[in-house]
Amino acid sequence: MSKVLSLDSTTESKADKISYSLIRYFTPMLILITISILTLTAIALLFIRIFLPDFRYSWLLATAGAFLAWISIFFWQLKMPFLLALPSWQPEYLFTDSPALLADQISWAYAFSVVTLGLGTLLTSTSHENRTTLAGTLILSIVGVLAVLAENPLTLVMAWTAIDLAELITLLQSVQEKRLRERVIIAFGARVIGSFFLIWAGLTSVAEGSALNFASAPQKAGIFMLIAAGLRLGILPMHMPFRAESLLRRGYGTMLRLTAAASSLILLARIPYSSLQSPFIPYLLGLVALTALYSAWMWFRTTKALDARPFWLLGMASLALAATLHANPIGSVAWGLALVLGGGVLFLSAIQNKMLNRLLMLSVFAMSTLPMTLTATGWENKSTQWWGFWLILLPAHALLLAGYFRQVRRINTDNLKNHNKFTVLIYPLGISFMLFTLLLLGIWGWQGAASIGAWQLSLISILLITLFVWAYPRIRSLIPLQAHWLKPDTKKSKNFIYVLSWNIYHFLRNLTFQLTDLLESDGGILWALLFIILFASLLAEGIR
């Protein structure tokens, strides 16, 4: 009898080992399944555009692909965390770590939000988007997922580069004025500088003898990661190089802006705790708090949400960075998810009716920091920083949500009744998907779910929101006469970083023009011969 029992136990142990090995091998494939669905759908749309120009179901195909990808992300919860390592790059002495994707609770929440945003964008676009834009939305979803799943700086920089190029091409196609096009180039340059700081952080990890990934990043690398995220989000220092938001389409433009923000926000949750013990952190926190308050004030006084989209991004990103500086990475993720999903709900809702307006109020509740909501962990503080920063951050949050509340209740001439039956059915569904995700992440799916949070600070914030909403129509100074500060800015920016970047750009451009004129003139051949002689002399010295 004992022999039979031991045989059965041995068989069960072998079966468990085999099943565990199968799960361990196939679980990383879940990432490939999600990305493959989006990729194949985007490729199919591009081929249809070329070979079947009369095909009438492109929108349906794009939406079906996005929905299947959305469903597939739920299966990631079966076994997390898991790592998908791509083939090693050569030479190995130069690339010590190959690109890799990490699916944990934090990256899953961001990936789920990005795919939900893509699905919501397609559902609310119905038939007014062309096939190229539909494919572009899917491609942005792919790149956004790759960015938030990045396990090391190399992978994240590659995703950032793809997003930056997409934004650069989109903006250059949207503007015609020379000065605005120059500002687009400068904005692209600022993001590239942020990418270089992240590369610097990776090189610092290698110099310290650590692996080139976010899990084991040393203290020195954390400072460069913080600067990289601050530069790309426009917080450190505060800057908004290009504010002609209305030139971007509501659907694709919103997807582009929010995906770019999510790809940078994920870095805030990867900064090592040891890097947040610097004596300079309180000063940085003060600057971030003031940036949050200024952005929230400008957002609160806005008349058109789409034109003021940069202030929403800057204000919510500042709250996320403040949570990171308070040693609360989960709180930074909560604010980041609220930025993406809450912003998506508002900026994609161009059509109005009573039911939609009531549904949109749920997003205000989800971002209120009340217990069991998405942002419940936002006010948690795991550091010993001065408590007085809450005197700035709480009003900033209240102003952001009060302005959001006003936009939700706005009067829009484009009523849902004026559209066909198909739009009446599908459009609310796109908004509902994003609202469902906002509420779901408050109670399930990631480390910050089902949290009580700092409910005392939440109550203060709710009181301030109520006060600002009540005061807005009653105090004349709160009502802007005209939103001149939201129009496309054709003058030079007063921000230090962009004044400096602008001067460097013009200096290098003028220097290039001078060298070109010099070499293309009659004396160009003589200068070329002179350079050859100098190079030959230096080479001869080296040979000796």
> Which of the two residues, 7 and 270, has the higher pLDDT score?
270
Q: Are residues 508 and 473 in the same domain?
A: no
Domain boundary among 447, 480, 513: 480
Q: Are residues 518 and 395 in the same domain?
A: no
What contacts 395, CB < 8 A, 6 or more positions away?
Answer: 293, 296, 464
Q: Are residues 408 and 528 in the same domain?
A: no
Q: Are residues 367 and 396 in the same domain?
A: yes
> Which of the two residues, 420 and 457, has the higher pLDDT score?
457
Q: Which domain holds residue 329?
A: 281-480
The whole-number pLDDT of residue 188 equals 84
The whole-number pLDDT of residue 431 equals 92
Domain assignment present for 365:
yes
pLDDT at 405 over 80: yes
Q: Are residues 454 and 536 in the same domain?
A: no
The whole-number pLDDT of residue 143 equals 95
Domain assignment present for 471:
yes
Q: Are residues 438 and 521 in the same domain?
A: no
pLDDT in tens, 57-114: 889 999 999 999 999 999 999 888 889 887 777 666 556 677 899 999 999 999 999 9
Domain assignment present for 364:
yes
Percent of the chain with pLDDT over 70: 76
Contact 472, 131 (CB under 8 A): no
What number of CA atoms fall less than 13 Å from residue 264's CA on the CB side?
Answer: 31
Least confident span in 215-229, 310-324, 431-445, 514-528: 514-528
pLDDT in tens, 460-508: 999 999 999 888 877 766 665 444 444 444 444 445 555 555 566 556 5
Alpha carbon of residue 339 to chain centroid: 9
The whole-number pLDDT of residue 510 equals 58
pLDDT at 433 over 90: yes
The whole-number pLDDT of residue 372 equals 93
Q: Are residues 466 and 519 in the same domain?
A: no
Provide mean pLDDT across the span 438-463: 92
Chain-wide mean pLDDT for the chain? 81
What is the value of pTM for the model shown? 0.85
Domain assignment present for 373:
yes
Nearest Cα neighbor of 266 from 361, 440, 150, 377 is 150
Instruction: Write the DSSP string, 404-439.
Output: HHHHHT---S-BGGGS-HHHHHHHHHHHHHHHHHHH
pLDDT at 213 over 80: yes
Domain assignment present for 84:
no
The DSSP letter of residue 82 is E
By residue count, the chain amounts to: 544
Residue 313's pLDDT band, with cuts at 50, 70 and 90, is: very high
Counting the structural domains of the chain, the total is 2
Q: Are residues 355 and 474 in the same domain?
A: yes
Task: Give CA angle at 449 (426, 270), nearest 5°.
Answer: 100
Percent of the chain with pLDDT over 90: 42
Alpha helix stretches (DSSP H) within 89-177: 105-125, 131-148, 153-174
pLDDT at 416 over 70: no
Which range is most confident: 153-157, 300-304, 524-528, 532-536?
Answer: 153-157
Least confident span in 181-185, 201-205, 276-280: 181-185
pLDDT at 149 over 50: yes
The whole-number pLDDT of residue 22 equals 53
Domain assignment present for 116:
no
Provide mean pLDDT across the span 381-409: 88
Domain assignment present for 475:
yes
Q: Are residues 431 and 330 in the same domain?
A: yes
Q: Are residues 529 and 467 in the same domain?
A: no
The whole-number pLDDT of residue 441 equals 96
Q: Are residues 468 and 524 in the same domain?
A: no
Domain assignment present for 538:
yes
Residue 544's pLDDT band, with cuts at 50, 70 and 90, is: very low
- With tokens 């992978």, the residue in question is 155
Q: Are residues 373 and 520 in the same domain?
A: no
Positive or negative, the CA dihedral 260, 264, 269, 270 is positive
Which range is most confident: 250-254, 361-365, 410-414, 493-497?
Answer: 361-365
The DSSP letter of residue 252 is H
